[in-house]
């Protein structure tokens, strides 16, 4: 037995060293030993190597922070950025500064419990009583709100407990179709909701990489348009899934006719305390900036002044104001505590790394855009934009269910960027809509355990785990519902915003 354990330990160490060797080769060696080809220059080969090395480290269990720092050092050695330029493009960028501040704001919201209060308030609206479809819809919208603020894990743990309580109260068996569809709907809608805010997490990693790539062509992906697009889609998806539960999936909702959500113990007396109210108002005022900037005429002095502030610095101002507000003589919002406890540095540094790598990959000096255009132009060159959207959304959603969602989003974004730029310049579609479509598709991952870090919360649930047929029937139906809606909604929105 001792020999076997020693052999396993040696083998594990060997695999670990092998993985590191592969990553180091791609980040530091690939660009120097692989010759250039077609239009791809030495800088382009180096960028591809660093990108592959980073994705490899991310998908094989290494630290996000460590992998990102290693990748940034690899970028430095290529000469693409000098030391001061690299720091300015990463920790000194408005995107990263904004991410840090947004983490502090979201942490404050979560600490006050405001996200859960909003969700409970939505569920207990008077108009949902005696109306199963209305209650179901509001329940899923509450899931999306929770997903946006507290993430998929917190949302699932919170809402699954509510589903269990409803099932016990109304006599639904856990093996019933209604119960399973509620679990599936909760997970998928909260996954969509978690990517609806482009200010944090995986959404910002992919958003930042795409925006960095587009900027070299003078095209911008805007936070305001992304936010509006994603909220519209999230509501439409919640409505569509609720309707499908009743009409296509044939879930028995009749027991909900006599259900009063406010009668449940943990859903009674839903009121905002002052801390929750103040921080929610602060967050809404902060986000309102991104919407206002969209509707003000660009030629006005007011627009130019407001636009010069940027969302990052407006958020900074709101956080400063919140820190001065006192409740019972004491500050209720501590930026120091929120910045200390709220920041996920792995995500922050990943945004830093992929923002710069995204710029490298799309830089004209790299020659990669031209190469991808030459290769893929026979496929996508004369393709109608809606067909292009359908293919990109389907491929992204399919791959992300078997592979890292971050890596999937980044790879698809890199491949599709030249054509998104082309569509934007030739027919005037907004790249923001395409970006939102791909980010949400990359987050729609639940069909396999490898789909995402949160997929086991759904697949390992005792009821779902015992019924794999449910996943590969209703789960697959929901997959196609998402792909179709995503394609239609974001194609239309790309022509509007």
Q: What is the pLDDT of residues 284-315, one digit of tens each?
A: 898 888 888 878 888 889 889 988 998 889 99
Interatomic CA distance for residues 19 and 445, integer angstroms: 26
Three-class DSSP category at 333: coil
Contact in structure between 107 and 342 (CB atoms under 8 Å): yes
Q: Give the C-alpha distances (Å, rounded to integers) separating 461 from 77, 224, 452, 464, 468.
A: 47, 37, 15, 5, 11
Q: Which residues pair with 330 in a beta bridge?
A: 327
CB 206: neighbour CB atoms within 10 A?
Answer: 28
DSSP letter assigned to residue 330: E
Name which of 444, 418, 462, 64 is nearest 219 in CA terms.
418
Contact in structure between 125 and 138 (CB atoms under 8 Å): yes
User: Tokens 């909604």, residue?
Assistant: 489
Would you state the pLDDT for residue 25? 97
User: Tokens 């967050």, residue?
Assistant: 283
Token digits of residue 238: 């919640």
User: Tokens 């109210």, residue?
Assistant: 277
Radius of gyration (Cα) for the chain, nearest Å? Answer: 24
Would you state the pLDDT for residue 315? 92
Burial of 233 (0-12, 13-18, 19+ CB in 10 A): buried
Contact in structure between 440 and 412 (CB atoms under 8 Å): no
Cα angle value 224/349/455 (rounded, 5°): 75
Interatomic CA distance for residues 399 and 409, integer angstroms: 9
Would you state the pLDDT for residue 5? 38
Q: Which residues pair with 238 in a beta bridge?
A: none
DSSP letter assigned to residue 367: -
Interatomic CA distance for residues 394 and 483, integer angstroms: 6
In angstroms, how far is the first alpha carbon of the chain from the final one?
65
Give the chain's mean pLDDT.
88
| Residues in the chain where the model's pLDDT stays below 70 | 1-11, 199-201, 216, 265-269
Contact in structure between 356 and 89 (CB atoms under 8 Å): yes
Helices 431-443 and 474-496 meet at what angle, rounded to 10? 160
Alpha helices in 326-367 (DSSP H): 335-342, 345-362
CB 325: neighbour CB atoms within 10 A?
Answer: 14
Count of CA atoms in the C-beta half-sphere (13 A) of 279? 28
- Residue 26 Cα to chain centre, angstroms: 27
> H or E stretch including 92?
none
Would you state the pLDDT for residue 6? 42
Contact in structure between 252 and 109 (CB atoms under 8 Å): no
Would you state the pLDDT for residue 292? 86
- Residue 255 Cα to chain centre, angstroms: 35
Cα angle value 192/339/324 (rounded, 5°): 105
Token digits of residue 242: 């609720």
How does 158-193 read in b/e, with b if 16+ C-beta sit within 10 Å?
bbbebbeebbeeeebeeebbbbbbbbbbbbbbbbbb
Name which of 423, 398, 283, 350 is nearest 54 in CA terms.
350
- Residue 182 Cα to chain centre, angstroms: 22
């Amino acid at each position: 037995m001792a020999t076997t354990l020693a052999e396993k330990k040696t083998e594990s160490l060997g695999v670990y060293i092998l993985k590191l060797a592969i990553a180091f080769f791609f980040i530091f060696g690939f660009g120097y030993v692989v010759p250039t080809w077609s239009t791809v220059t030495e800088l382009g080969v180096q960028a591809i190597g660093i990108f592959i090395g980073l994705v490899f480290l991310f998908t094989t269990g290494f630290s996000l922070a460590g992998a990102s720092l290693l990748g940034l050092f690899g970028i430095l050695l290529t000469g693409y950025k000098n030391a001061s330029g690299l720091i300015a493009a990463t920790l000194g960028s408005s995107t990263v500064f904004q991410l840090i501040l947004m983490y502090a704001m979201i942490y404050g919201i979560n600490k006050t419990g405001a996200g859960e209060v909003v969700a409970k308030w939505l569920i207990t609206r008077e108009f949902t009583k005696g109306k199963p479809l209305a209650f179901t819809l509001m329940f899923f919208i509450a899931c999306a709100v929770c997903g946006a603020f507290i993430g998929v894990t917190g949302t699932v743990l919170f809402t699954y407990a509510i589903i269990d309580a409803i099932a016990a109260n109304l006599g639904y068996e856990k093996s019933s179709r209604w119960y399973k569809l509620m679990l599936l709907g909760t997970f998928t809608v909260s996954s969509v909701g978690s990517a609806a805010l482009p200010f944090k997490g995986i959404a910002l990693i992919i958003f930042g990489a795409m925006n960095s790539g587009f900027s070299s062509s003078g095209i911008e992906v805007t936070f305001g348009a992304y936010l509006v697009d994603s909220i519209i889609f999230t509501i439409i998806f919640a409505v569509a899934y609720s309707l499908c539960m009743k009409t296509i999936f044939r879930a028995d909702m009749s027991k909900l006719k006599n259900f009063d959500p406010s009668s449940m113990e943990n859903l009674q007396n839903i009121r905002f305390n002052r801390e929750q109210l103040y921080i929610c108002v602060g967050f809404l005022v902060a986000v309102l900036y991104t919407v206002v900037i969209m509707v003000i005429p660009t030629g006005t002095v007011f627009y130019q002044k407001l636009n010069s502030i940027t969302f990052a610095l407006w958020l900074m101002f709101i956080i400063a104001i919140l820190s001065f507000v006192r409740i019972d003589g004491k500050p209720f919002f501590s930026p120091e505590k929120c910045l200390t406890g709220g920041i996920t540095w792995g995500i922050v540094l990943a945004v830093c790394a992929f923002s710069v790598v995204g710029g490298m990959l799309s830089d004209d000096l790299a020659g990669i855009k031209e190469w991808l255009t030459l290769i893929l132009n026979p496929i996508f060159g004369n393709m109608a934009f809606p067909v292009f959207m359908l293919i990109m959304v389907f491929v992204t959603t399919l791959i992300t269910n078997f592979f890292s969602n971050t890596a999937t989003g980044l790879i698809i974004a890199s491949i599709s960027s030249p054509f998104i730029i082309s569509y934007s310049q030739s027919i005037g579609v907004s790249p923001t809509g395409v970006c939102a479509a791909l980010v949400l598709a990359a987050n729609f991952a639940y069909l396999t355990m490898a789909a995402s870090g949160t997929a086991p919360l759904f697949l390992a649930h005792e009821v779902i785990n015992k019924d794999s047929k449910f996943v590969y029937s209703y789960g697959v139906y929901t997959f196609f519902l998402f792909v179709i809606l995503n394609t239609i909604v974001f194609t239309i929105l790309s022509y509007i915003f």
